[in-house]
Structure formats: C-alpha cells, structure tokens
Structure 1
Amino acid sequence: MLDVSNLTPAGLHNTRVKQYLAIKNNTKSYPEKLVCLEGMRALSLALKANLQVCAFFICPELLRGDTAKDIAQQIIADGTSSYQVSERVLGHMTSWNGPDGLAAIVQLPDYSWQHLQLSACNTLLVLDGLQIPGNIGTIIRCSDGAGADGIIITNSKQRLSHPKLVRASMGSLFGHPVIECEVQEAAFWLHKHGFQIITASPDAALSYRQISYAARVAIVVGNEQNGISPEWYALHDVSVSIPMNGRADSLNVANAAVLLLYEAIYQQKLI
C-alpha cells in the first residue's frame, strides 16, 4: 500500500515545481545536467540506469496499476525530496496526454573517456556542431540500439538536457556514453587509441561502402546546414559519401549516421 500522507503538498508556486517547469521549458542552463521526466516508463529507465532522482512529484489520483506504485514507493523510500501534486498542477507540468501520475527531476550521468570500453573492434559516432535536439536524441537512441560504443559531441550547439533531445533518445541518454569535448581533444584521444577517423561528406569521392571499417573507427557527421567543421577535415583519415540516386541531394543527418553506423558494425562482425 502506497502511503503519501507524509509528502509535502506542492502547487504551481512551489520552488521545486517552478524549477521543473524552467527545466522543461528550457529557460535556464543547468550545469549539473538536470532533466525532467514524466511517466512511469521514463522513470523506470532512469532507475534502471541508477540515475539520481533530485525531486519527485506524484498525483495519487492518476496512478495506474501496481508498477507505478512500485516506482513511487522505491523513489520515496530512497529518501528523495517528494511532493504530492494535484491533477491540475501535474497537467501544467507534463506535456503528453494521459499522464500516469509521476514526474521527476533527474540528473544525467557525467561520462568521461574512461567509460568507453576499448576492444579489438570499436565503433564511435562523432556529432560535430549538430543543432537540432531531435536529431541528436535520435542518433543517441540508434547508436545505443545498434550496439555502438558511444557518442562524442564536438562544437556542441545544444544542451544534452534539452527536453526534445531527452524525449527523442527514448531513455538511451541515461546509459549510453556521451562525451562532450573540443575537436582537438577528441582527435588526440582517437588517434592515441588507434581509431580510424572517417568523415561523412556529400562531396567525398569514395562511397561509404568502399572502405574498411575494421578494428576501431570513429564516424564524424556534421551540422545540419553547414556540415563538418574544417578542424575535422584536417585531422581525419578518410572521407566518404552516401550515393544519392534521387532528386534529394542529401539525407537527414540522423539517417546518414545510422546508415554509416550499421555498415561499420556489419563489417566488424565479419572479421
């Protein structure tokens, strides 16, 4: 039986509720990488990834089934600052129809180079200057699903905590290593550990299927409008293109990244 009698009641003027709304609406930068999660699926993924729940909000009237109650019980039992909110307040806080009574402020993990597990074959994606949060989140999700080893972000144009990025990642952001750094630092680490750096460019003479992705590779994709920064072209090993046989002159960057990623992983499994 879930007991919420000891929880602090919170309205729209509550400090934590206002913080939640500020994060959700992307009105303020949070160096500690705080994100808003709503619903039991998102929260269950966060708990599975052992993320820190900084504030928890529950509307008992909207709880659905034992799973939601179990999640709430676990979070409350961990000593998280927890608040009881009304349906009206939760309606202001959540952005999808049919909320199931749960929302939270959660801290994203802080990954470093040590979190990248090196082996005989590794595949990394480098996102250089991407600015559409949905693209970044989608690529993180696909990288995780394909079994890549992680993501490197250079010339960052969006916060990892952007609500649209978090939603598009579908939980992959919680456990798939994502490292933000400068181009020179990334290239130094990659070359030091024997990675072939492959840039994706529509002007490259070689098709993406004309090269070998054996051993360790890092595939660089660039900004949605301007492509990859000149810094990467000065540091890469080879550049490849994706043949365009129709009227469109290029693919969406997320589609291109996934196509290259699966080609690399396919070739590595043949070794």
Structure 2
Amino acid sequence: MKTISSVQNPLIKQVVQLKEKSRARKTSGLFVLEGKRELSLALKGNYSLTSVFIYPDICPVNEIESLLDTTSPRPEIISISKEVYQKIAYRETTEGVLAIARSRGHSLDTISFKRKEPLILVAEAPEKPGNIGALLRTADAADVDAVIIANPKTDLYNPNIIRSSVGCVFTRTIAVGNTAEVIGFLKEKGININCAALTASVDYHTTDFTVPTAIVVGTEATGLSDEWLQHSDRNIIIPMQGEIDSMNVSVSAAILIFEAKRQRGFK
C-alpha cells in the first residue's frame, strides 16, 4: 500500500484544492468526500472513486478494503500520516477515511420516474449548503421521486452539502437547471406546480397532493421569483400563529412533503 507522509505531496495539494475551490471541482470533475457512511453511500450510488485515503490510527485498513472489495475499477488505497490527515480532513469526526470521487451530470433529462404520480421537491436558488443538505435529507426520508434545484448558487459537491446531507446526495435523484428549464420540464411531464408563497395562497392541507406534484420552495429572504408564481397551478401556505411569516426553508419543505406523503398513504 502506498503511503503519503508529506503535506507537500501533489495529490494532497489536489485534495485541498478540491475541498476549497468550486472551480477546481468543476474543471476536474472530481470532489472529496469524508467518512465511512459517506463512502458507503457513494459506492451504493455507483460513484467512481479514484483514491481512498486512510489514517490507520483511526480507521482499520481491512475495514475499508472489505468495503471496496466489489468496487470496479478499484481505487488506489493510500495510507496517510497524522500530519496529512489533519491537513485534509474537513472535520474531526471523519473516522479517518477520505476519498476522491468523480462527479456526475445532473441535467433534467436524466430524471426518470418509477411512480405514475411522482412527488418532486423543487428548491429555487438555495444558497446555504446546510439548507441544501437538510432538503436532501427530507427528500430521502420521504423517498420523493426527485429533487430539482433551480438556479443553483453552489455546486452539489461542496463539502458542506455532502456533510449536511450525510451522504444522501449520492443516492437521491437530483437535477439542476434554470427556472425556465425546470418549469418547462414540469409542464411537459404534466406535473402540478404547487408554489409555497404568501400571496393568493390556500392552506397546504386543503391541496390534493395525490396527483403528479411538484412542491416548490424559495429562499427565506426573498421567496420564489415571479416566474414561478406566474406558472404556478396553485400557491400554498403554511398557516402561522406567531409574529413572523416565514420558517427555515427545509422545515417548510418537510411539512409540505410529509403532508403529501400522508395523503398518499406514505407510499
């Protein structure tokens, strides 16, 4: 097994660049993931790995070798020193394992639906990686058919998104596009557009979510753009009894998505 003990090693420098620079991820088509669960889910999602870094004082080498047994092509497994691990680890709880993986495309035409009445979560222009990760975890918990991000402000392989999604970014059906493209896609597929909005809205629980449904949420600061509201089949609202008129976007999305799942008998 190859060993790297210097932080000046070119491969280690590449890991740092991939962690810190969106441009590096986009131009190379590579990204960094950390942790055993994230590694396992990336493999489950059929992501291709190029290198796996193990700090053996924390992570048993045989455990990772066993996990990679059926992986083809098999990535290079590299033992790293404590100094290197501290340099490239994003957080202290990564369990001593990191990997470089190949990213994949997320165009709208990659989406296919298993259900006749799909349920889709659409988020317009989410900026905070933590919110995106939370939205993906909601989508995973509810087993929605797809997550679509309109006008994305950050790439899906940002380390904070991977971390906050706990790796389910690798196993969910996710697509990105601009707002016009996403609206066109939904209309072409005959999917009802339900926009979370404050104006001209009906209470969310009065809406029929058993038909092909897209639940569309915007940012907490500005909500959805006019383009969405102009093409909305129905605006929906979560009644609030306090002094403010908004909640965290991931919380709002969870309420709406699980009402749809309730109506569908959690199927």
Compute the TM-score of the two structures, normalised by the length of structure 2: 0.90
* Partner of residue 257 from structure 1, selected from 239, 245, 253: 253
Residues 114-193 of structure 1: pairs in structure 2 closer than 5 A: 114-193=110-189
Contact 2:183 2:231 (8 Å CA) reproduced: yes
Query: What number of residue pairs does the alignment pair up?
Result: 265
Cα distance, 1:230 vs structure 2? 1.1
Q: Does 1:37 align with 2:33?
A: yes
Change (3 A) 1:158 1:270: closer
Given the alignment of the two structures, is residue 269 of structure 1 paired with residue 259 of structure 2, yes or no? no
Gaps of 5+ in 1: none
**Do the aligned partners of residues 248 and 34 (structure 1) sit closer, same or farther apart at CA in structure 2, a change above 3 Å counting?**
farther
Contact 1:22 1:28 in 2 (8 A): no
Q: Note the C-alpha offset of 1:33.
A: 4.8
For 2:160, the aligned partner's letter is: K
- Alpha-carbon distance, 1:98 to partner: 5.1
1:86 aligns with one of 81, 84, 90: 81
- Bigger drift between 122-131 and 30-39 goes to 30-39
| Deviation (angstroms), 1:255 | 0.3
Q: Is the 8 A contact 2:220 2:246 kept in 1?
A: no
The answer to whether the 8 A contact 1:109-1:174 is kept is no
- Give 2:17's aligned amino acid: A
> What is the distance in 2 between the residues matched to 1:45 and 1:267?
30
Bigger mean CA offset, 255-264 vs 54-63: 54-63
Whether contact under 8 Å (1:35, 1:108) holds in the other structure is: yes
Structure 1 segments (4+ residues) deviating >4 Å: 72-75
Q: Measure how far apart 1:116 and its partner are.
A: 2.5
Query: RMSD between aligned alpha carbons?
Result: 2.3
- TM-score, normalised to structure 1, is 0.88
1:26 matches 2:27: no
- SS of the aligned residue for 1:103 comes to strand
Structure 2 unmatched runs, 5+: none
Residue 109, structure 1, aligned to residue 89, structure 2: no
Cα separation, 2, equivalents of 1:176 and 1:159: 15
User: Do the aligned partners of 1:129 and 1:222 also contact (CA within 8 Å) in 2?
Assistant: yes
1:173-230 deviation per Cα after TM superposition (whole angstroms, max 9, x unaligned): 1010111112222112211211100100133431111211122001110123111111
